[in-house]
């Protein structure tokens, strides 16, 4: 999970003197806001350093294990361990056939004349119950592809394309994508698990967050670096989970740039896992694992799927998330009532 647009505006109200940048790109000290605003409103974040091979997170990481699997049953057995793993599909003829059409040139033919909403992670506003992914820009898809192929240093853009969007030709593309999914060891035999296409240019970073559902990410073009943290109370405290208005997961107050312990001392004492995925690598992530994603060297095209995992209900994170959503809904109702009196 950098554009020409500005980030979404934050809540009104001044920020007291304790909320200041550390002077290092991407690092922010947090304090309490004053005025009428709700929650925290950070100062503008300086443009982030683009990740490169030399700026891969300076964390001691455990490597995510790799497997070659041939059945859904094997995937389920690996998922039951509730740890990340990688399956290798480079030699899979179906992956090779799909990769032939999954190119920037082919995608340009399908969507070049349409406007798309692009996720902008240059700045992220952490207002309670406002998801960071609302920082988006609308631009012609052709313009995005230009940045995808020739990224602007210090800016990170993502575009994710769902099967319900696009021209009939685009729908045909996703039909091929689902056909490919039927021949992979996914959890749904009809290939419907395989449902999202992601494009990101060099330097793109998805801030540290976790989802309440299981995911798989297959790299088709380029390379992606994933850093994972286990779903336990120790990491919930260390990574400073922050509630946002989304049913999908929580974000961390750290992790805007490369996960450098010098920038973020909270990372000391954590136990991260690392996966550098190349074309044909599918990384599988159980629910509630923290993950930070970066594109170090070249533009990437990735396909991802969401999977149901019954193990998610056992996590403390899952129940805390449900409680937060329940309180958030009632807080919204209370605000509306007060606003009418």
Nearest Cα residue to 126 out of 16, 250, 294: 250
pTM above 0.95, yes or no: no
Q: Which residues pair with 194 in a beta bridge?
A: 305
Q: In the structure encoding, which two tokens stand for residue 208, read together?
A: 């540290």
- The span from the CA of 128 to the CA of 124, in Å, is 12
- Give first-to-last CA distance, the chain, whole Å: 42
Residue 238: closest CA among 262, 206, 272, 268: 268
Closest to 256 measured CA to CA, from 149, 172, 156, 338: 156
pLDDT of 305 reads 85
DSSP at 8? P
For residues 151 and 295, what is the distance between their CA atoms, to the nearest angstrom?
11
pLDDT, position 341? 55
Domains and CATH numbers, the chain: 53-339 (2.60.120.10)
Q: Which DSSP symbol is given to 45?
A: P
pLDDT value of residue 139: 76
**Helix, strand, coil % in the chain, rounded to nearest 5:** 30, 25, 50
- pLDDT for 337: 61
- The residue behind tokens 């609302």 is 134
Report the pLDDT value the prediction gives residue 244, as an integer from 0 to 100: 53
Q: How many CA atoms lie within 13 A of 319 on its CB side?
A: 7
pLDDT at 46: 38
Q: What is the pLDDT of residue 325?
A: 54
What is the full DSSP assignment across 140-196?
A: EHHHHHHHHHSPPTT--EEEEE-TTSS-HHHHHHHHHHHHHHHTS--SSTTSTTEEE
Residue 67 Cα to chain centre, angstroms: 24
Cα–Cα dist 333/32, whole Å:
25
Provide the strand spans (E) within the chain. 62-63, 66-67, 85-88, 115-120, 136-140, 157-161, 194-200, 205-211, 214-221, 224-229, 241-242, 249-252, 273-277, 281-285, 290-294, 300-307
What is the rounded distance in angstroms from the CA atom of residue 97 to the CA atom of residue 93?
6
Instruction: Look at residue 177 in the predicted model and tell me its pLDDT.
Output: 83
Q: What confidence score (pLDDT) does residue 234 get?
A: 79
CA distances from 69 to 78, 89, 164, 185 (A): 10, 9, 30, 7
> How high is the pLDDT of residue 231?
83
C-alpha dist (Å) from residue 293 to 1, 48, 90, 139, 184:
6, 14, 21, 23, 23
Q: What is the DSSP letter of 200?
A: E
pLDDT in tens for each of the 341 residues of the chain? 333 332 222 333 332 222 222 222 222 222 222 222 223 333 333 344 444 444 455 678 899 999 998 888 888 888 888 899 999 999 888 899 899 988 888 888 877 777 777 766 544 433 333 444 455 677 777 777 877 777 766 555 666 666 555 566 677 788 888 888 888 777 666 666 777 888 888 877 787 888 877 888 999 999 999 999 988 777 777 777 665 545 455 777 775 566 777 777 778 888 889 999 999 999 999 888 889 888 888 889 998 888 766 665 555 445 555 555 555 556 566 666 666 65
The predicted pLDDT at position 128 comes to: 38
């Amino acid at each position: 999970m950098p554009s020409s647009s500005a980030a979404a505006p934050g809540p009104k109200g001044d920020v007291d003197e304790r909320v200041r940048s550390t002077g290092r790109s991407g690092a922010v000290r947090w304090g309490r806001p004053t005025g009428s605003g709700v929650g925290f409103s950070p100062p503008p974040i300086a443009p982030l350093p683009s990740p490169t091979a030399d700026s891969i997170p300076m964390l001691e990481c455990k490597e995510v294990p790799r497997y070659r699997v041939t059945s859904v049953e094997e995937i389920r057995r690996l998922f039951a361990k509730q740890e990340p793993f990688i399956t290798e599909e480079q030699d899979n003829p179906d992956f090779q056939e799909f990769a032939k059409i999954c190119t920037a040139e082919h995608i340009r033919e399908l969507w070049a004349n349409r406007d798309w909403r692009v996720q902008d992670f240059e700045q992220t506003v952490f207002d309670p119950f406002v998801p960071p992914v609302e920082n988006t820009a609308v631009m012609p898809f052709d313009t995005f592809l230009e940045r995808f192929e020739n990224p602007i240093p210090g800016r990170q853009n993502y575009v994710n394309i769902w099967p319900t969007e696009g021209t009939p030709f685009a729908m045909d593309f996703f039909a091929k994508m689902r056909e490919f999914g039927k021949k992979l060891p996914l959890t749904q035999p009809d290939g419907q698990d395989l449902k999202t296409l992601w494009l990101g240019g060099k330097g793109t970073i998805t801030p540290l967050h976790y989802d309440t559902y299981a995911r798989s990410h297959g790299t088709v073009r380029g390379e992606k670096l994933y850093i994972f943290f286990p779903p336990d109370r120790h990491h919930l405290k260390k990574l400073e989970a922050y509630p946002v208005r989304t049913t999908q997961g929580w974000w961390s107050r750290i992790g805007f740039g490369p996960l450098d312990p010098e920038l973020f001392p909270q990372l000391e004492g954590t136990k991260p896992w690392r996966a550098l995925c190349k074309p044909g690598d599918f990384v599988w992530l159980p629910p509630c694992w923290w993950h930070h994603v970066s594109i170090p060297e070249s533009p990437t095209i990735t396909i991802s799927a969401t999977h149901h995992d019954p193990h998610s209900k056992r996590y403390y994170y899952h129940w805390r998330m449900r409680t937060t959503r329940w309180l958030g809904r009632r807080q919204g109702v209370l605000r509306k009532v007060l606003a009418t009196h």
